[in-house]
């Protein structure tokens, strides 16, 4: 079983809140970004690595590669898993990644989405992914930063 401390959905993936605030709060020593686009984009990876303290490892994998190898994680790897969308998280869970809790931090507003919290906007596809994750036993919370009170996303579905 991999030591996945928390999984976060954040459109921005790694940035200051993720690379410093959440990592310190969780005690993570590895951030795994599971995203098909970023796994193939070294420029984005380099930019994200700039905000992460040097003592924290980073890995950038496609969703399928994450499914295939996360169970091989060493016991001393304390993993903070970051995804861009709820659909990516659902693919991980359906692929067998043992996720218990998902933090929804930032899902940008765009056309067709409804803002449900200060930093979270959803469309029907997002809502359906969250419903499926809930049915699969995954706890879901909206929370930007660790010291903020979590909000249950289920009331918006």
Domain at 123, CATH number: 3.40.35.10
- 155 is a domain residue: no
The residue segments making up the domain with residue 15 are 3-147
Within a domain: residue 107?
Answer: yes
Q: 157 in a domain, yes or no?
A: no
Distances (CA, A) of 126 to 5, 27, 40, 148, 152: 23, 29, 24, 23, 15
Count of other CB atoms within 10 angstroms of residue 55: 7
Mean pLDDT of 68-93: 97
Neighbours of 136 (CB within 10 A): 11
Across 18-26, average pLDDT: 93
With respect to residue 91, please indicate whether it lies within any of the assigned structural domains: yes
In this predicted model, what pLDDT tens digit does every residue of 51-66 receive, in sequence order?
A: 999 999 999 999 999 9
Annotated catalytic, 15? Answer: yes
How many domains are there within the chain? 1
- Assess whether pLDDT exceeds 90 at residue 6: yes
Asked whether residue 154 is domain-assigned, the answer is no
Q: Which residue has tokens 């809790």?
A: 101
pTM: 0.95
Cα distance between residue 92 and residue 11, in whole Å:
17
Average pLDDT, the chain: 96
Residue 25 lies in a domain: yes
| The one catalytic residue among 15, 25, 108, 134 | 15
Q: For 113-130, what is each residue's pLDDT tens digit? A: 999 999 999 999 999 999
């Amino acid at each position: 079983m991999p030591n996945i401390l928390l999984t976060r959905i954040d459109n921005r993936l790694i940035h200051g809140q993720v690379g410093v605030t959440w990592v310190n709060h969780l005690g993570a020593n590895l951030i795994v970004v599971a995203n098909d686009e970023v796994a193939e984009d070294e420029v984005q990876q380099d930019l994200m690595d700039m905000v992460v303290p040097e003592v924290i490892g980073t890995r950038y994998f496609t969703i399928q590669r994450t499914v295939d190898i996360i169970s091989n994680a060493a016991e001393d790897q304390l993993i903070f898993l970051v995804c861009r969308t709820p659909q990516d998280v659902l693919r991980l869970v359906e692929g067998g990644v043992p996720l218990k809790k998902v933090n929804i931090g930032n899902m940008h507003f765009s056309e067709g989405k409804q803002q449900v919290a200060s930093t979270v906007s959803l469309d029907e596809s997002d809502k359906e992914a969250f419903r499926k994750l809930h049915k699969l036993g995954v706890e879901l919370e909206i929370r930007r930063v660790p010291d903020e009170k979590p909000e249950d996303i289920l009331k918006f579905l």
